[in-house]
Chain A
Amino acid sequence: MAQDSAPSQPNLWPYVLPTVLVLGACTLYPIATVLWMSLHDWTWGGDSVFSGLKNFKLLWLKGSFVIALMNTVTFAISAVLVELVLGMILALAANRVTRGAGVFRVLMILPLMVSGIAVSLVWKVLLDPTFGVINAALAGVGLPEPNWLGSTSTAMASLVMVETWWQTGFVFIILAAALKSLPEEPFEAARLEGANGWQMFRYLTLPMLRPVIVTVVVFRLIDTLKVFDLVFGLTGGGPLRATEAVQTLTYQTAFKFSNFGEAAAIVVIFSALIFAICAAYGALDRRTGGAE
């Protein structure tokens, strides 16, 4: 674009300076500190003794971090898959209808407006094994009444279900907008060639939506990996660590057990994981010619 060629254009670094300073204070300082903390036996105010990789070794030996990481990855992948499939179905459905689309959109963004903690309270009441309306309904039609959040076999699935209720609207909104922005001619041409609905979806819609789907999946994946509110509010990580997540474990380790060195070690590993996903996404996006 021609804007690069104009002479005597001052560069605008003063405009980004405040951002760089605030971002530096809010990210570079924490990153450096956390790295340092993770390598020390750390107590606030007291002496901090260099301990090498001891914190990392302890994490491995105690096993709780590995469990939390597995739980978190299971939660993230299941939730994102379900949200993607549901979001796509809803977006395709919404793309077909004309009347009531606005009302439906409002209904779908309502859960997004609610804090994770309020979502937790809502579902704690709904899923209550004895007094909850869901089990009452199940009993009414003669189905078994699971102890949703209280049993190790169903707690994780229940969390995924609540997360899905909460965030599918986001996936829907984005896919619906992307669908609407697709050109119509290729679909008309395909129809003239005799393609059926599934073929058009498989060979036109899906490939054209690919960049958007990748972006949505990455955003949702990182967001669900960082899950905290729902676990904190619904299960507290239980029962028996069945729903312990990385971020709730970090919180417990740091603020319940005041073991900041170990908490820092968790954060280091976890941040590295998030960074790796972002970097892979960035590389992918550049290769496929996405913006920025």
Chain B
Amino acid sequence: MAAVEFQNVGISFGNVPVVKDLSLTVNDGEFVVLVGPSGCGKSTILRSIAGLAGISSGDMRIGGKRMNDADPAARDIAMVFQSYALFPNMTVAGNLGFGLKIRGEGKAEIDRKVADVAAVVGLSDHLHKRPGALSGGQRQRVALARAILRRPGVFLFDEPLSNLDAEFRTAMRAEIVRFHRTQGASMVYVTHDQTEAMTMGDRIAVLAPLAAGHKANLMQYGTPDEVYHRPANLFVARFIGTPRMNVVTLPVKGGAVRFGGQQLALPPSAVRLGNVILGQRPEHLRLSQEGAEPGLVGTVEHIENLGHEMILTFSTAIGQMVLRDARSGSGPMLGQTVRLSLDPNQVHLFDPASEQRLD
């Protein structure tokens, strides 16, 4: 069991920096998800823990020991690849025993360990098969079993569910979380899928690409609730949550902003600004009762009926607004004009210059 610490780590491919000034600690036994759009460096960070990508500056420690340049095999880690990386020319037993054989263990010992781990992941009947004859989920289990055999302090997962179909993905998500509880080892899990991030991680590290002009990759590091309910900046606010958070820039007048007819008082930190970015998630936006509440006039532009809920898109004087409405059936019609109002307790405010959260 081991913690992973990054201290001001930078990673470059040639002259192109991919990761800058990363400081982040994965506590012993913690399940951390690295999430972000493509190019945000999440896979590179994972591969730098494994020793498959080189660290250009700063320090990376595993279990307290500096591991920047250590051989991958000496890092107390095991990795589950996106493609599973099973050796197609070997049987399942051969795949599982490969590392043990390389490390020079005896045949009887290898057979015993392989049989044990196969029983744990439910592959005992498939040991003689080749990976090509297995289903996606079984391959996933072989990859997992191979990692377990290493008894590592840290498990690394590189988008392991992206090759599975949607139905199966949910089941495997639960299986990996259960696996984490039983193993008790630290886990670092890379995904671009925010549902996986929200449902699996003890903590989530939201990463942004340097190419988009960010000074460092790490946008926020916190629990799923923190990241969702208190996004630290505009990037996190817009990246986490589907449909995306509604975001509008509004002028500050007399310590308040106006959302149509709705007056919204600002906290002291926002009062001195000329403009403020206001965000609200689609599920918090409300349809006003006609005449009852002041609000923003909007016309229904698009309706997505998902059965259990409706996603309504409105065009308004200050831009598009999306509203998520759980009451299906009796909503407004296409082209109908309605009033929208904010839930004042669920408003997120950001500084337009720094894009950081204002409280």
Contacts and interface: CB of A to CB of B under 8 A. Distances in A.
Do A's and B's CB atoms come within 8 Å in the complex?
A: yes
Contacts of B55: 7
Shortest 9 CB-CB contacts between residues of A and residues of B = A7-B54, A5-B53, A6-B52, A5-B54, A7-B69, A5-B13, A8-B69, A8-B71, A6-B54
Contacts of A26: none
Contacts of B71: 8
Interface string B42-73: 00000100011111000000000000111100
A7 B11 CA distance: 11
B52 A2 contact: yes
A54 to B, nearest CB: 53
B54 to A, nearest CB: 4
Nearest to B71: A8
A4 B68 CA distance: 16
Nearest to B13: A5
Nearest to B51: A7
Interface residues of B, number: 13
8 contacts: A2-B13, A2-B47, A2-B53, A4-B14, A5-B53, A6-B53, A7-B51, A7-B54
Interface of A: 2, 4-8
Contacts of B11: 5
Contacts of B13: 2, 4-5
A241 B4 CA distance: 80
A204 B230 CA distance: 56
Contacts of A8: 51, 69-71
B68 to A, nearest CB: 7
Contacts of A6: 51-54
Contacts of B53: 2, 5-7
Nearest to B11: A5
Contacts of A5: 11, 13, 52-54
Interface in B13-51: 13-14, 47, 51
A241 B54 CA distance: 65
Contacts of A2: 13, 47, 52-53
A7 B68 contact: yes
A2 B82 CA distance: 15
A4 B12 CA distance: 11
Contacts of A4: 13-14
A4 B11 CA distance: 13
Contacts of B47: 2
Contacts of B68: 7
A2 B53 CA distance: 7
Contacts of B70: 8
A159 B69 CA distance: 64
Nearest to A3: B52
A8 B51 CA distance: 9
